[in-house]
Amino acid sequence: MLMFHRARVQQVIALAAFGGLAACEGDSCTGKTDPQGSNPALSARPTASVNPPVVASVAVVDVNSMASEHAASASAAPEQPPAPLGETVDGVRLRQRIAERLSRPDPVHMLTGGGSLELGRRICESVIPRAKRKIPVLIKPNMGGFDSFRKPQKPGGDDGVRGRITEPEFVRGVIRCLKRRGHRTITVADGWGGSHAAWQKLVQLSGYEELARSEGVRLVAMNDDGTFDREGTRPGEPLVVTGMERTLVPTLRMPRLLAEHLEGGLYISVPKIKAHRFSVVSVSIKGTMGTVMLADAKPAHRQKWRMHRELGPWMKKKRGDEPPTRADYVAALTAFSKRLIDVLVVEAPHVVLAEGTPAMGGDGFQRMVPRKPGFAVGGTNPILVDRVASQLLGLWDVARLGHEQGGWRSSPPVVLAARRWQPGEPRVEGDGADLLETAAPPAFRSMAGFSL
């Protein structure tokens, strides 16, 4: 009985973090000033805990205009669908809501064993609290994290995409988990800086087109590419995010599809766990770049480069006669990281299910170093998930990184986010927790010209 109560309290905590997703049980459900900072907690190891302390009470704030059910509540207000979105998104309201859940010390789940499909299904079952079947679900894999398409020199050769994006079979496992729970309105979507024609090539080459067809789910791009921002429900239409004037991303726009799911649905980020030549690691926080739209020019989805605009002058020097300075590089990395977490606090996913089948060291684009065995990391706080994934890649609190990156001993966006919202040390659960004790040494190549 005590075990059931503890599990139920944890589920309610997670539902509160969603901001009011209605829980269900029984028949109603199926199936980062100085770079690294002086906080010692940022360099301590995560703690493994199978039985976290029971919380006596949890306040569930019903911000989605849906009935929230608490374990101790016998009645709830009638369910009401979220109000239709107009042409703007309330950034102040989103920031308040999301900042609260980014500070929550939610557990991080680690699983190992089995292939991509099975790990996707199991991490979904372990992490995602049960919710009303009618709630629409948005699954966002990382689909744009590669340099270019390649023509493989031999069957099964490198196509330039595989290993850099989220494995489709892992996403399939997540979809089947959700379908078993009774969810039927499921959309798979990402946004990237390419054309509509390039998107069509990507989904065919990557296997996502076949995945969507065989599983009966919708597949779209959160891009204003002349198609997804105009046709049907206009999922890629850029909406103005109000209240961003004092942030570092004052021209931020949000894809309509994402805004709808932040308001009245379940938004699941399913990133690839990999090293990244600029941000050090790419997991859920770096994955937020997929949804970035900026109104500085049109189309908005092709303005993502402005998030790291300082890199342009640095790279120009690198290609020319004037050698770039490491200080210029660190300044560009720091500026990018600050902008990224200003996006995170209005676009953070409700759940992160990170795929490492296998996770990749290297640079995330050209040099790919598989890390074995395969594993999955999940949780409802993206900061903590990214913290654990960084350690598994051997890229958390590394002295050599700090020496080369002006003090940043880990991925700057993850460090900045942890410092701003202070969710504490990760509490790691699951059959893969022991991997933290045997994490492989780092395999990393930076665009700044150094390698680990």
Tell me: pLDDT of 358 over 70: yes
More confident residue, 202 or 285: 285
Tokens for 258, please give them.
Answer: 């994402």
Beta strands in 259-415 (DSSP E): 266-270, 272-276, 280-282, 293-294, 351-362, 368-371, 375-379
More confident residue, 355 or 32: 355
Confidence at residue 39, expressed as pLDDT on a 0 to 100 scale = 37
Nearest to 120 by CA among 321, 357, 438, 328: 357
In contact, 286 and 395? CB cutoff 8 Å: no
Tokens for 74, please give them.
Answer: 């016998």
Q: pLDDT-based confidence at 153, cuts 50/70/90? A: low
Give 296-327 pLDDT, tens digit per residue.
Answer: 999 999 999 999 999 999 988 888 878 889 99
CB atoms near residue 121 (< 10 Å):
21
CA distance 451 to 440: 15
Does the bond joining 423 to the residue before it have cis omega, within 30 degrees of 0?
no
* Percentage of the chain exceeding pLDDT 70: 79
Nearest to 92 by CA among 252, 220, 225: 252
In contact, 287 and 270? CB cutoff 8 Å: no
Q: Which range has the worst mean pLDDT, 1-5, 74-78, 92-96, 297-301? A: 74-78
CA distance 436 to 390: 10
Give 128-152 pLDDT, tens digit per residue.
Answer: 988 899 999 999 999 987 667 667 7
Q: pLDDT-based confidence at 123, cuts 50/70/90? A: very high
Give 401-449 pLDDT, tens digit per residue.
Answer: 999 999 999 999 999 999 999 999 999 999 999 999 887 789 999 999 9
What mean pLDDT comes out for the span 357-367? Answer: 91
CB atoms near residue 3 (< 10 Å):
8
Q: What is the mean pLDDT of the chain?
A: 83
Does the bond joining 373 to the residue before it have cis omega, within 30 degrees of 0?
yes
Q: Where are the alpha helices (DSSP H) in 272-347?
A: 284-287, 311-319, 326-347
Q: Which amino acid does the sequence have at 321?
A: D
| Strand pairing report for 186-190 and 218-221 | parallel
Give 373-399 pLDDT, tens digit per residue.
Answer: 999 999 999 999 999 999 999 999 999
Kindly list the structural domains of the chain, giving each domain's residue range(s) and its CATH number in brackets, ordered by start.
Answer: 2-26+89-438 (3.40.50.11440)
Confidence at residue 317, expressed as pLDDT on a 0 to 100 scale = 86
CB atoms near residue 248 (< 10 Å):
15
Angle at 308 between CA 303 and CA 310, to 5 degrees: 120
Q: Around 272, how many Cα atoms within 13 Å sit in the side-chain half-sphere? A: 28
Confidence at residue 435, expressed as pLDDT on a 0 to 100 scale = 92
Whether the full predicted model's pTM is greater than 0.85, yes or no, is no
Which of helix, strand or coil describes residue 32?
coil
Crossing angle of helices 382-392 and 412-421, rounded to 10°: 140
Q: Which amino acid does the sequence have at 372?
A: K
CA distance 351 to 129: 9
Nearest to 402 by CA among 289, 288, 326, 311: 326
Tokens for 354, please give them.
Answer: 């990170």
